[in-house]
Homo-oligomer: A and B are copies of this chain.
């Protein structure tokens, strides 16, 4: 039932059409009739297979989450991805990234769970990187992993603005032409290597916004 095998049954066509429609217009903005039309079936059949619009949405959530998990696992194994989203930009004909972007905002138990997994993976990736000396240690490992993940996912959600601003579509398939996202990757890597602010500036901001009574500001003591 996953993504391999014979994936052209009517139920699969409905599910794929629903994912595309949901991704483009949101759940509330998509009618069952529109999904049925896109899948080339009658509205009744949608209900027949999935029970209700809400159950269809859940099925889509699970399916997309499943797809992303697969690809994500592969990317983690190969170990080359500092940006999770780079891995699942396009999967087959299904706009998984766009769907995820919508669902991240609308909220859904399955996708929330997926986000937690992504952060956990990032945490694992960062921990390994710190051990092997590829990543600088932090005083707030967990929070840093969460923030880096959120920034990546946030950029994914705002992909249309990013496209408009710097001409890079991060929902597009990167594996074809890895250099196509240069305008995004180059400055991002710059920030990720050297930072942005000078030390004096950061010190000022820390004083303004950071509560130093928590385990903080004590300077690199690797807990």
Candidates B134, B144, B150, B201; contact of A190 at CB < 8 Å: B144
A162 in the interface (beta carbon within 8 A): yes
A146 B133 Cβ-Cβ under 8 A: no
- A106 neighbours in B (Cβ, 8 Å): 26
A6 in the interface (beta carbon within 8 A): no
A216 in the interface (beta carbon within 8 A): yes
Candidates B101, B134, B146, B161; contact of A200 at CB < 8 Å: B134
Query: Nearest residue in B to A165 (C-beta to C-beta)?
Result: B146
A175-219 vs B: 1/0 string, CB under 8 Å?
Answer: 000110111111111111111111111100110111100101100
A166 in the interface (beta carbon within 8 A): yes
| In the complex with contacts A154-B151, A214-B182, A195-B102 CB distance below 8 A | no
Q: SS class of chain A's interface: helix, strand, loop or mixed?
A: helix
Q: A154–B153 Cα gap in the complex (Å)?
A: 7
B187 A143 Cβ-Cβ under 8 A: yes
Chain copies in the assembly? Answer: 2
Candidates B186, B193, B209; contact of A181 at CB < 8 Å: B209
A195 B193 Cβ-Cβ under 8 A: yes
Q: A147–B143 Cα gap in the complex (Å)?
A: 20
| In the complex with contacts A133-B198, A139-B186, A210-B182, A105-B157 CB distance below 8 A | yes
B202 A197 Cβ-Cβ under 8 A: no
Residue from A133, A185, A188, A210 with most neighbouring chain B CB atoms (10 Å):
A210
B190 A148 Cβ-Cβ under 8 A: no
B196 A148 Cβ-Cβ under 8 A: yes
- A29 neighbours in B (Cβ, 8 Å): 26, 28
* Top 4 A-B pairs, shortest CB-CB distance: A154-B154, A28-B29, A28-B28, A179-B211
19 contacts between A and B (CB under 8 A): A82-B205, A102-B105, A107-B160, A119-B165, A129-B201, A139-B187, A140-B183, A143-B187, A144-B190, A147-B184, A147-B187, A147-B188, A150-B155, A150-B165, A154-B157, A178-B209, A189-B205, A189-B210, A194-B223
